[in-house]
Chain A
Amino acid sequence: MAALQELEAAYEEARRDPAFAEELAAYLKDYVARPTPLYLARRLSDHLGGARIYLKREDLAHTGAHKINNTIGQALLARRMGKRRVIAETGAGQHGVATATVAAVFGMECSVYMGEEDMERQALNVFRMRMLGATVHPVRTGSRTLKDATSEAIREWVSRVDDTHYIIGSVVGPHPYPRIVRDFQSVIGTEARRQVLEKEGRLPDAVIACVGGGSNAMGIFAGFVADPEVQLIGVEAAGQGLNTGLHAASLAAGRPGVLHGALSYLLQDEEGQVLSTHSVSAGLDYPGVGPEHAYLKESGRAQYEAVGDQEALEAFSLLARTEGIVPALESAHAVAYAVRLAPALPRDAILLVNLSGRGDKDVQVVAARAGQGGGGQP
């Protein structure tokens, strides 16, 4: 608790410091390569014959996903707090890579906790983290995925609070993390709103983003939450189907519960044991969800849908072939929902999809599912 209070105080102080904002803005521009483009997916939209689909290209941010918006901010905060080491949990590996990346930039030690199952399916990112100088710790307990990596990172943090800052990768965990992460990710929404107004002279009809822990969604939603005419749609992983128990749709199928220091929707059994989740995409494979998403759902401001593995894989392919963009499997869930919605909407409707990351890390999994190279070839 003391560490959380220290973090909150440091964050409040940093937030009010123009020098902090300036330094952050400089890194976002010169290092992360912001602003990321807002791209009209003309060929995809024409193929679907309905609404026009814009893609917010977080896949073009340095390291290939939105995660770095948060890790840069938290690393600056960590340095300000005098911490010389950062740790992180990671599912798909993007947050781990983004943490290892900023640790390299700021000369900090870095340890990343990753479920053993995730290490197997996202091997490219494990390699990247090690190349960047981080130590990757396999987590072998529980379901060996993101939730277990998060638990282990928390355990590590409580024993090293003095010199270590825990960079949580999503809008989950104990206060003040959900707020800090959302604030750092809100650059996505701020930019997207400005960009769509520049290009179209009006706001989109809906903003669509995939939801695992919920950081890319909170980031883009933040830009539009005060515009009630803009629908906010979060897309969770339905895995093999919501009725199979093999999914990760916390908002659709969960109940309020406490995991990792936050009360939010949680996939759990009747006694509160946290369930193992499943999604073809490691980054969505988390039984909880950020508390702010729970709030948006309950207040009716945002709606939450679910897309299964197969539909996400199809959207992955479709985007690659129609626009030459290979999305992360996580982001493919958001694309898939746009693919569902667009055809029935008029041509002048606008759907804004957050393309939270690129899919190089996923090619092995996709190839294996397509039945090619299933023998463990690269």
Chain B
Amino acid sequence: MSSSAMSPSGSLSPSASGGNRFDQMFAALRREGRKGLIVYLMAGDPRPEATPEIAGALVEAGCDALELGVPFSDPLADGPTIQAAGQRALAAGTRLVDVLRIARSLRARFPSLPLALMVYYNTVLQRGEAAFVREAAGAGVDALIVPDLPHEEGTGLRREAAACGVGLVPLIAPTSPIGRIREMLGGAPSGNGAHELHRACGGFAYLVSVRGVTGARDRLPEELPAFADRVRREASGRWPLAIGFGISGPETAREAARLADAVIVGSALIERLAGGAEGLAAAVELTRALRRAV
């Protein structure tokens, strides 16, 4: 398969200058000698109509990329904060079409913003892998993160995604043995072709900082630097690394940013947003503080 496979739609396709927007973001960060701040929001929380404004405000407050959560009834990888956000989004009637509409509107407003969808596998399966990827790509999405799809079950989705210029982000847990990390990052001798294609379509490796689910923590685990080291060695420069789960504020963000190319913050922001009338202002302020720290 040719590594120049691009999605068909014009301005919504991966940036004309070549490569996925995540690729470009990480390249720019390297050039500028700084780390990336990726923000996660639940699409449709508290209402689908509210998300574009909330996301826009956080992008302008300084985040480099955005992850949109697709609400799901049984989010196994999520702690209480994101679970509640998902429930609110579902209660407001959020469906896939709303999430795609939100993505499309963000894409139109921020043409070079790297955009990922965090989605549970059943949602993808019911739509059909090919259809889901096509629709996501058409809405301007650059990468998919599917927390409950084990690497070995993802071959088909990786292929579909690659064909549309969309990355399928590998999630690496602190409990992953070296062999598994190697497989996920394409370090194994076999199957290099597929991994090359995957890499060419961009994305990053997502290091799950904690043994557990999403949710702000006071401190990051002591094993995190060693874990990040292990992954970086296997990545050997071919994969940008982003650390997520548990990052609660500037302190933990600064610590994580030292170990990777980007940090991902979700629950801490969602907690602020859910905090009443001043929620958005508080979330914007936190984003700015994270921006400074990272």
**B-binding residues in A (CB < 8 A):** 1-3, 141-142, 147-148, 151, 154-155, 158-162, 255-261, 266, 268, 270-274
Instruction: Give every chain B residue within 8 A of A271 (Cβ-Cβ).
Output: 95-96, 123, 126-127
Instruction: Give every chain B residue within 8 A of A270 (Cβ-Cβ).
Output: 126
Give CA–CA (A162, B127) in the complex, Å.
36
Contact between A259 and B74 (Cβ–Cβ < 8 Å)?
A: yes
Give CA–CA (A255, B125) in the complex, Å.
11
Interface-facing stretch out of B20-28, B106-114, B175-183: B175-183
Q: In chain B, residues 69-104, which have Cβ atoms closer than 8 Å to a Cβ of chain A? A: 72-80, 83-84, 87, 90, 95-96
Contact between A268 and B176 (Cβ–Cβ < 8 Å)?
A: no
Contact between A258 and B212 (Cβ–Cβ < 8 Å)?
A: no
Looking at A3, A148, A258, which has the most chain B CB atoms within 10 Å of its CB? A258
Q: Which of B83, B90, B125, B175 contacts A258 (CB 8 A)?
A: B125
**A-binding residues in B (CB < 8 A):** 72-80, 83-84, 87, 90, 95-96, 120-123, 125-127, 148, 150-151, 173, 175-177, 180, 210-213
Interface of A is mostly: mixed
Instruction: Give every chain B residue within 8 A of A151 (Cβ-Cβ).
Output: 74-76
Instruction: Give every chain B residue within 8 A of A154 (Cβ-Cβ).
Output: 76
- List of 8 A-B pairs having minimum Cβ-Cβ separation, nearest first: A159-B212, A272-B126, A272-B122, A2-B175, A274-B73, A273-B73, A258-B122, A272-B123
Give CA–CA (A123, B151) in the complex, Å.
41
Given contacts A1-B173, A161-B211, A271-B95, contact A155 B76 (CB under 8 A): yes
Q: Which of A159, A258, A268 contacts B148 (CB 8 A)?
A: A258
Looking at B75, B95, B122, B212, which has the most chain A CB atoms within 10 Å of its CB? B122
Contact between A259 and B212 (Cβ–Cβ < 8 Å)?
A: no
Give CA–CA (A1, B151) in the complex, Å.
9
Q: How far is the CB of A336 from chain B (nearest CB, A)?
A: 30
A3's nearest neighbour on chain B, judged by CB, is B175
Contact between A141 and B175 (Cβ–Cβ < 8 Å)?
A: no
A-B contact pairs, 15 of them (CB 8 A): A1-B150, A1-B151, A147-B74, A151-B74, A155-B77, A158-B77, A158-B211, A159-B212, A255-B126, A258-B148, A259-B122, A271-B127, A272-B127, A273-B73, A273-B90
Contact between A257 and B150 (Cβ–Cβ < 8 Å)?
A: no
Q: Which of B72, B126, B150, B210 contacts A159 (CB 8 A)?
A: B210
Q: How far is the CB of A116 from chain B (nearest CB, A)?
A: 15
Given contacts A142-B73, A158-B212, contact A268 B175 (CB under 8 A): no
Give CA–CA (A261, B177) in the complex, Å.
20
Instruction: Give every chain B residue within 8 A of A273 (Cβ-Cβ).
Output: 72-73, 90
Q: Which of B83, B125, B212 contacts A257 (CB 8 A)?
A: B125
Give CA–CA (A112, B95) in the complex, Å.
33
Q: Which of A2, A158, A259, A261 contacts B213 (CB 8 A)?
A: A158
